[in-house]
């Protein structure tokens, strides 16, 4: 293991960054981004007395573009290996979108021995896909459309996808070109195969039992105008499945609220971490 990469049991190299000192906060990013999506939170918390660690999920960013284990169990197991390698204790786990699923699956699969708190931001649990058991979910055609975008002209697809992701398609929205460009830049660093296979992972995985196993203080944060992970089929259901979970909902906020409302999200995150 070098200072910024971990080689997992199956030979995958997982890149991570590790800043600051103090209580540990880990960050699991959304699809199809990487650890850099968390820089706004990491810098803030590092300056406020925390040790912050974020990794690039396998197949994303600077990690190996593996052709196996591109699923929630694989992602959670990579995180478990990182926690063990760095011997992290009393961790506050933060996950956005797909990363929120990763946090839930980690606790559901590996327990909370190393975990003190959990934060799910715009997170995909309990399950996104519409079914007889989940009639409020999004139909399979939505995810097939995303798959087609990734398999086709993915560069243009990511440029287009950034607009609803950050709510830039709403009247009067003030989203900088830099935020939109950053989304494209990070997305294009993902492996095409990995980004494609991750769609099934974030849309079809049922996290219901994982959520029931979360036994640490948990905060759910979600934008009320989330066009990617609709709030009524995610946060509003998850809060009922996690014992004692707290919730903060942001009127008019999009899926990518960690960027568009960075200061507000950071303040709320800091308050929860210190509580």
- What is the domain partition of the chain in residue ranges? 5-274
pLDDT tens for each residue of 114-143: 999 999 999 999 999 999 999 999 999 999
Q: What is the pLDDT of residue 1?
A: 35
Helix (H, G, I), strand (E, B) or coil at 97: coil
Residues with active-site annotation: 97, 226, 255
**CA distances, 198 to each of 30, 119, 143, 193 (Å):** 10, 21, 11, 9
Q: What's the pLDDT score for residue 246?
A: 98
Scanning the structure block, which residue is given the tokens 């009320």? Answer: 224
Q: Does the pTM of the predicted model rise above 0.85?
A: yes
Cα(230)–Cα(28) distance, integer angstroms = 20
188-230 residue pLDDT tens: 999 999 999 999 999 999 999 999 999 999 999 999 999 999 9
The SS3 call for residue 271 is helix
d(C-alpha 10, C-alpha 189), whole Å: 22
Q: What is the mean pLDDT of the chain?
A: 97
CA 211 to chain centre: 15
Residue with tokens 């992970």: 229
Q: So what's the pLDDT on residue 3?
A: 61
Rounded CA-CA distance 27/39 in Å is 10
Domain 5-274 has CATH 3.20.20.70: no
**pLDDT at residue number 99:** 98
């Amino acid at each position: 293991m070098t200072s910024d990469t971990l080689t997992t049991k199956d030979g995958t190299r997982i890149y991570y960054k590790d800043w600051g000192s103090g209580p540990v906060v880990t960050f699991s990013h959304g699809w199809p981004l990487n650890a850099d999506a968390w820089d706004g939170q990491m810098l803030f918390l590092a300056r406020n007395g925390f040790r912050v660690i974020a990794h690039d999920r396998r197949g994303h960013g600077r990690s190996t573009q593996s052709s196996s284990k591109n699923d929630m169990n694989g992602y959670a197991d990579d995180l478990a290996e990182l926690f063990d390698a760095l011997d992290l204790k009393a961790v506050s786990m933060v996950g956005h979108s797909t990363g929120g699923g990763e946090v839930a699956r980690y606790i559901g699969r590996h327990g909370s021995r190393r975990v003190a708190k959990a934060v799910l931001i715009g997170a995909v649990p309990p399950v996104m896909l519409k079914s007889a058991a989940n009639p409020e979910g999004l139909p399979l055609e939505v995810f097939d459309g995303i798959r087609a975008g990734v398999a086709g002209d993915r560069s243009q697809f990511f440029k287009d996808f950034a607009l609803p992701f950050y709510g830039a398609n709403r009247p009067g929205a003030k989203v900088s070109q830099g935020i939109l460009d950053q989304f494209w830049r990070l997305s294009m660093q993902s492996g095409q195969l990995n980004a494609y296979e991750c769609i099934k992972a974030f849309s079809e995985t049922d996290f219901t039992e994982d959520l029931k196993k979360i036994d640490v203080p948990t905060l759910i944060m979600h934008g009320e105008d989330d066009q990617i992970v609709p709030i009524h089929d995610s946060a509003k259901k998850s809060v009922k499945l996690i014992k004692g979970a707290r919730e903060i909902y942001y009127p008019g906020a999009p899926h990518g609220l960690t960027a568009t409302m960075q200061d507000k999200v950071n303040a709320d995150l800091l308050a929860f971490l210190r509580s």
